[in-house]
């Protein structure tokens, strides 16, 4: 009986060992698959991060280009403003010069008339304070 019991025990143990070994293989295979999955996830995550960084760089380039365009427009606007100010100042200078040159003959005539009037006052020996000659 003991012999049978030992044989049955040995058979049961021998049947159980391949199952345990097969189970260990499946655990190892699962671990390998999990590691591969983690590596794949890591690669995909790195790829997404790289794609995001590329998109951020493209956005920065676009923003920098827009800022440069705005700066150029501001510079052009300042140039136009300066040109308009210079044009207005030159127009004012031309108007003043033209006014002086157009008023110079009139001023000369007024000065000449004043000199004649002063001469007449002195010649007739009239008081300069009298402004109206009464009959």
Would you list the domain boundaries of the chain?
1-104
Q: For 35, what's the count of Cα atoms within 13 Å in the CB-facing half-sphere?
A: 6
- Residue 13 tokens read as 């143990």
DSSP 35-54: HHHHHHHHHHHHHHHHHHHH
Query: In whole angstroms, what is the distance from residue 102 CA to residue 128 CA?
Result: 31
The pLDDT of residue 121 is: 81
One pLDDT digit (tens) per residue for the chain, 135 residues: 777 777 777 666 766 655 555 566 688 888 899 999 999 999 999 999 999 999 999 999 999 999 999 999 999 999 999 999 999 999 999 998 888 888 888 889 999 999 888 888 888 776 665 555 544
The pLDDT of residue 135 is: 43
Please name the residues in contact with 13: beta carbons below 8 A apart, sequence gap of 6 or more.
Answer: none
- Residue 82 tokens read as 């300066």
Q: CB–CB of 128/121 below 8 Å?
A: yes
């Amino acid at each position: 009986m003991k012999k049978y019991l030992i044989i049955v025990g040995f058979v049961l143990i021998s049947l159980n060992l391949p199952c345990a070994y097969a189970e260990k293989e499946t655990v190892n295979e699962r671990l390998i698959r999990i590691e591969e999955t983690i590596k794949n996830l890591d690669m995909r995550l790195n790829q997404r991060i790289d794609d995001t960084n590329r998109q951020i760089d493209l956005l920065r380039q676009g923003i920098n280009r827009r800022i440069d365009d705005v700066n150029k427009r501001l510079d052009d606007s300042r140039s136009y403003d300066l040109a308009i100010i210079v044009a207005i100042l030159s127009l004012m200078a031309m108007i003043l010069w033209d006014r002086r040159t157009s008023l110079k003959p009139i001023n000369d005539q007024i000065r000449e008339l004043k000199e004649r009037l002063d001469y007449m006052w002195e010649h007739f020996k009239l008081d300069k304070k009298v402004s109206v000659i009464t009959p």
